[in-house]
Amino acid sequence: MAGGDSVVAFWIVLALLLALGAVQVYVRRGLAPARQVETRTPEGLPWRPVWFATRRNKQLFGWFIPYAVPPGAAPAPALAIVHGWSGNAEVMLPLAQPLHEAGYSLLLFDARCHGQSDDDDHVSLPRFAEDLSAAVDWLHRQDETRASPVGVIGHSVGAAACLLLASRRADIGAVLSIAAFSHPASMMRRWLAARRIPFWPIGAYILHYIQRVIGARFDDIAPRHTIARVSCPVLLVHGCDDDTVPLAEAEEIYAQRRHEHVHLLPIPGSHDEYGDMSLHLEQAIAFLDTAFAKEPRNENG
């Protein structure tokens, strides 16, 4: 009888291991970003394609758009700009011309596993932040931006990466966050609900598994927590009609601010629609100008 119990126990354990393995494969496949290669370029701007290294010897692709200043003038501030999940540099193009005309050098780039950048075994919020950090370092090494103050702009998970990076680096001059979620767990709960996966016990295991894979606790990288460690000015832009990340999550991040230079700008629009964002770029540019102590622009730029 004891031997029979051992056999039953063996098969139960084996079945559980196989089930967990199947869940892990499902999660990795289900959360893998869709790679979309750019089909457009920053036409009308003085851009050049660039490649630069990030962690794990991976190469990232980007477009560098320097801003030429008159001889003897202070260097133009530089902005590293990163997309969201399954995006690429192209989706951030609506920001490029207005920001460049406002006097900013720009680096729009593809995070790992996105666009034309190298693949990796997985992508995550911490890796987005690593890639963004590599972009900031690259700007600090270029002749055109070596002496420039640097800010960061991101969308969705890219916005969360901006806040995470600014909580770790004191040399970030400003953060423009577009549609950041307040906590990775809230995003994962919505992902689970959309697939009708019960939180207990499967969903809870999935969240535990993801944190083990990315090597970070969600609480440690959640924007609603990292915002309290960000010392530079921050503008949280969020669509009032965002049904992917509700506006309430931006309000939650804003509520945890630790200084008066964090601002919340609700605007009409959804999670991915930039048409409405373009109508409010003057406010975003005014925020950046103030953060970098730039002279106010006249009507001619």
Residue 7 has pLDDT above 50, yes or no: yes
| Mean pLDDT, residues 146-174 taken together | 97
Tens of pLDDT, residues 95-143: 999 999 999 999 999 999 999 999 999 999 999 999 999 999 999 999 9
pLDDT given at position 301 = 41
Task: Give the per-residue pLDDT at 287.
Answer: 97
| pLDDT of res. 58 | 98
User: Once rounded to an integer, what is the mean pLDDT over residues 68-83?
Assistant: 93
Read off the pLDDT of residues 150-163 as tens digits, 9 standing for 90 and up.
999 999 999 999 99
Q: Is 119 exposed, middle or buried (0-12, 13-18, 19+ CB in 10 A)?
A: exposed
pLDDT on residue 52? 98
Model confidence over 230-285: pLDDT tens digits? Answer: 999 999 999 999 999 999 999 999 999 999 999 999 998 888 875 566 678 999 99
pLDDT at 24: 58
Position of tokens 């577009």? 178
3-state helix, strand, coil split of the chain in percent (to 5) is: 45, 15, 40
Beta bridge partners of 239: 267
Q: Check residue 17 and give its pLDDT.
A: 45
Q: What percentage of the chain has pLDDT greater than the value 90?
A: 76
CA distance 130 to 134: 6
Written as one string, the DSSP assignment of 184-234 is HHHHHHHHHHHTT--IIIIIHHHHHHHHHHHTS-HHHH-HHHHGGG--S-E
Cβ neighbour number for residue 1 with a 10 Å cutoff: 5
- Domains, the chain, with CATH or none: 46-183+222-291 (3.40.50.1820)
What is the residue whose two structure tokens read 């090597």? 215
Q: What are the residues facing 265 on neighbouring strands?
A: 237
Instruction: Please tell me which residue, 167 or 10, carries the higher pLDDT value.
Output: 167
Q: What is the pLDDT of residue 1?
A: 46
The per-residue DSSP string of 73-122 comes to SPPPPEEEEE--TT--GGGGGGGHHHHHHTT-EEEEEPPTTSTTSPP-S-
Task: Respond yes or no on whether the N-terminal peptide bond of residue 94 is cis (omega within 30° of 0).
Answer: no
Q: Output the pLDDT for position 71.
A: 86
44-48, 195-199, 232-236, 296-300: range with lowest mean pLDDT: 296-300
pLDDT band at 86 (very low <50, low <70, confident <90, very high): very high
Per-residue pLDDT band for 30 (boundaries 50, 70, 90) equals low
Residue whose entry in the numeric block shows the structure tokens 């289900």: 30
Q: What is the pLDDT of residue 212?
A: 92
